Chains A and B, each alone.
Chain A
Amino acid sequence: MSEETAHKTRSDMIVCENVDKWFGDFQALKGVTATIAEQEVVVVLGPSGSGKSTWIRCINRLEAHQKGTIVVDGVELTNDLRNIEKIRSEVGMVFQQFNLFPHLTVLDNVTLAPKWVRKMPKTEAENKAKDLLEMVGIPEQAAKYPGQLSGGQQQRVAIARALAMEPRIMLFDEPTSALDPEMIKEVLDVMRDLALGGMTMMVVTHEMGFAKEVADRVIFMESGEIVEEGTPEHFFTNPTEDRTKLFLSQIL
């Protein structure tokens, strides 16, 4: 209970109210309503096609929602390009397929956005990038190209690249799904450190261990709706909804 009251004193970072999203005739999100507080770590679970990726891609406008409101750090997402750019520069995103820039070195990948968006001096950006690469555990790879790294290393570079913009929120879209099993841990370790450091995080993943250990709250989605949410203890040991029970019985 003390945990929950603590959340209420913090400001709301992401507020979604009745968010609807269609792809043609198919409704991907149905009235999604949720609030994520500062420094909260939320893990979104659900079967594939349940709309979890679509939801977090709506939060930095990689997909445009059609109904409802999304407010990120006090700025509402509309068609206003200035709002979109402001939100994107405060929300970092890590993709399933890494999406590193293959024609740039690791260092250039990390410094590109600070230089072009924040107008940061080159030396400052490079020093910062080296610190971030140190943090994710691959300082010696700075001069290499993404194609020369392993999957786990590439994903850690992608995390460093997002952090270089000093975001207040980090979105993770299945960050470990494209990785070989032995590389998953190195990425999850970096994410755990980030969560312990107080970053506001929204994570779409299938890593139940990570959800149990790190998440403040678990949200379960199916068919574009939020079915159930709660603390990991509640969610994994004592779920109330039948659909949640079915999902857990299939994966655990």
Chain B
Amino acid sequence: MSETPPQNYHHQKPPFYRDAVVVKWLFQLGALALVVFSLWFLASQARDNLAARDISTGFDFLSVDPGINLSEGIDTRPATGGRALWVGMVNTIRLATAGILAATILGLVVGLARLSNNWVVNKLGSVFVETLRNIPLLVQIILYGAILANLGDLSYDSGWDNWVIWSNKGLSIPRVFIADGFYQWAIFMLIGSIVARWAYKSRQRQHDETGRDTYPWLGSLGVLGVFAVIGWFIHPIFGWVGGIFGAVEDGISKIPEEALQAVISIIAILLAGNWIRNFLRSRRTPGGSAQLTDDDKFRVIFSGISAGLVIVVVYVVWPGLSSWIINSSSDLFGVLEDKFGNGRSGGPFGADRPEVIKPGKFEKYGPSGLTMSIGFAAVFFGVVFYTAAFIAEIVRGGILAVPKGQIEAANSLGMKRSAALRTVILPQALRVMMPPLGNQYLNLTKNTSLAIAVGFSDLVQVGQTVGNQTGKNLSVFAIWMLFYLACSLTISVVVNFFNVRLRIVER
């Protein structure tokens, strides 16, 4: 029998500076204090300096007329500062969306060209990549702007018979717009897409049962096309839908404010309670009660606090919230009643051809067409070519990253090149390509801010003008940062979604 250890062996308490738990908490508190102090310091410095230099902050300018004209956008003479910035944001979003689409397609083509066995195609791809990714983007944008400025002057006969007009003032094409009948037609398309989905599934099933090629995509697109054409002519039969929205509008406007406040509070409490219950259940060990780490405890407390916060907001901080929700949603249904209402017999879409007008001494494009200025084109080509060069390398790298054995295995099974590419190579290459591709999309979106170099009215250019007019440069800075942050986070979410879907399962 061995000697038993001293009774108090497990109870020797170390001094606090050697106690792992205490030390951990001390470090956490220290880090937190440092962050709070830094923020307080920066904020107080900024406040004092701004006051000393008489620089004003605040967001009042968003509802004041900035007195500026914009060169292009959904509104060239915005009535408020907020409206002006919104026009800039729409221009930036348009540029970034079109740029991402074009750069992806061009990058894919060039990347595949660099993998081609055809010597000419291969070398063309190499030259494209090596040239365009090594010239600074700003230089390229200014260069394209200078080249495009050499197009001819605008006159009544530049272009093709008022369908497409181009000149050194830009390119104007027919503008397609949503007409009166669109919303009723959209109901048709909704039903059409349900039927198309059914058609897709049934064709897929047919393929599974017989092994024949049934082209499910073509089938469902055909169904959708038939619905689109029929709906174009008979969509007024859905005129009664407007009445339903009208009834909903009346119903919502009768809801008492107190009832909504109570419902929101109860929902918050129920959600938090349900979440905590499920969380505790998931942490339950086979032995019985839940083992909670500090992190877990924090989560439980935090979810309780969030429910409390919701109640405080609803009743104390913003008592008008519930009436605002009631009013705005009933307004929304009022608009829908109007849009879907009877008597909308026009087509779903219309198109206006571009036109040339001469208000003063010089010709300019009229408002009817969809016009892209030289500035837009210069930035567009700049970001597309520049980003496409990088995307081409990502595509090449992604495909080369698929092990050679995978292609050999597909070959040895007698699969054709196209089938092997689609079922074996691309799914694995995309997995490698997705994260760097997301980076390029983020870069492209942020690089559109170089539009200021050629005077395209993107958010940065508009913001700078507004800031100069109103003196609220700091506020404009805040809006810029929030906008680009929102864009980047949106892109990240989309890319991560695909990342998760393409993940390969391992043990």
Report B399-427 residues with CB < 8 Å from chain A CB.
Answer: 403, 405-406, 408-416, 419, 423-424, 427
A contacts, CB < 8 Å to B: 60-62, 85-86, 88-93, 95, 97, 99-103, 112-113, 115-125, 145, 147-148, 161-162, 165
CB-based contact B405/A165 at 8 Å:
no
CA distance A100 to B208 in the complex (A): 23
CA distance A89 to B415 in the complex (A): 8
- Which chain B residue lies CB-closest to A103? B427
CA distance A162 to B411 in the complex (A): 11
27 A-B contacts (beta carbon < 8 Å):
A60-B411, A61-B411, A62-B411, A85-B416, A88-B411, A88-B414, A90-B414, A91-B412, A95-B408, A99-B405, A99-B409, A102-B504, A103-B431, A112-B424, A113-B410, A116-B416, A117-B415, A117-B419, A119-B212, A119-B213, A120-B211, A122-B211, A124-B211, A125-B211, A161-B413, A165-B413, A165-B414
Nearest chain A CB to B430's CB is how many angstroms away? 10
* Known pairs A88-B413, A113-B410 / 20 extra A-B pairs, C-beta < 8 Å: A92-B412, A92-B413, A93-B409, A97-B405, A99-B408, A99-B409, A101-B424, A102-B428, A103-B502, A112-B423, A113-B415, A117-B415, A118-B211, A119-B212, A120-B211, A121-B208, A121-B209, A121-B211, A123-B208, A145-B505
Closest 4 CB pairs of A and B: A89-B414, A122-B208, A147-B506, A113-B413
Contacts of B212 in A (CB 8 A): 119
- Which chain B residue lies CB-closest to A113? B413
Contacts of B419 in A (CB 8 A): 116-117
B18 contacts chain A at the CB level, 8 A cutoff: no
Known: A116-B423, A123-B209, A165-B414. A99 touches B406 (CB 8 A): yes
CA distance A177 to B250 in the complex (A): 77
B131 contacts chain A at the CB level, 8 A cutoff: no
B118 contacts chain A at the CB level, 8 A cutoff: no
Q: Mark B203-226 against chain A: 1 for CB-CB distance below 8 A, else 0.
A: 000011111110000000000000
Report B77-93 residues with CB < 8 Å from chain A CB.
Answer: none
Nearest chain B CB to A132's CB is how many angstroms away? 14
B507 contacts chain A at the CB level, 8 A cutoff: yes
Report B488-507 residues with CB < 8 Å from chain A CB.
Answer: 502, 504-507
- Which chain A residue lies CB-closest to B505? A145
CB-based contact A62/B431 at 8 Å:
no
Contacts of A145 in B (CB 8 A): 504-506
CA distance A119 to B214 in the complex (A): 11
CB-based contact A112/B507 at 8 Å:
no
Max chain A Cβ within 10 angstroms of own Cβ: one of B405, B408, B416, B507: B408
Max chain B Cβ within 10 angstroms of own Cβ: one of A95, A101, A125: A101
Contacts of B415 in A (CB 8 A): 112-113, 116-117
Max chain A Cβ within 10 angstroms of own Cβ: one of B409, B416, B506: B409
Select B505's contact among A89, A148, A165, beta carbons within 8 Å. Answer: A148
Query: What secondary structure prevails in chain B residues at the interface with A?
Result: helix
Known: A99-B409, A122-B207, A123-B208. A113 touches B414 (CB 8 A): yes
CA distance A88 to B407 in the complex (A): 13
Contacts of B424 in A (CB 8 A): 101, 112
Contacts of A97 in B (CB 8 A): 405
CB-based contact B428/A95 at 8 Å:
no
Known: A95-B405, A99-B406. A60 touches B412 (CB 8 A): yes
CB-based contact B408/A62 at 8 Å:
yes
Nearest chain A CB to B30's CB is how many angstroms away? 43
CA distance A145 to B503 in the complex (A): 12
CA distance A97 to B403 in the complex (A): 11
CA distance A10 to B208 in the complex (A): 38
- Which chain A residue lies CB-closest to B204? A122
CB-based contact A147/B507 at 8 Å:
yes
Contacts of A123 in B (CB 8 A): 208-209
Nearest chain B CB to A80's CB is how many angstroms away? 14
Contacts of A125 in B (CB 8 A): 211
CB-based contact A103/B209 at 8 Å:
no
Nearest chain B CB to A91's CB is how many angstroms away? 7
Known: A103-B427, A145-B505. A115 touches B211 (CB 8 A): yes
CB-based contact B406/A101 at 8 Å:
yes
CB-based contact A162/B506 at 8 Å:
no
CA distance A95 to B410 in the complex (A): 12
Contacts of B428 in A (CB 8 A): 101-103
Known: A99-B406, A124-B211. A93 touches B423 (CB 8 A): no
CA distance A112 to B423 in the complex (A): 8
Contacts of A101 in B (CB 8 A): 406, 409, 424, 428
Known: A145-B504, A145-B505. A95 touches B207 (CB 8 A): no
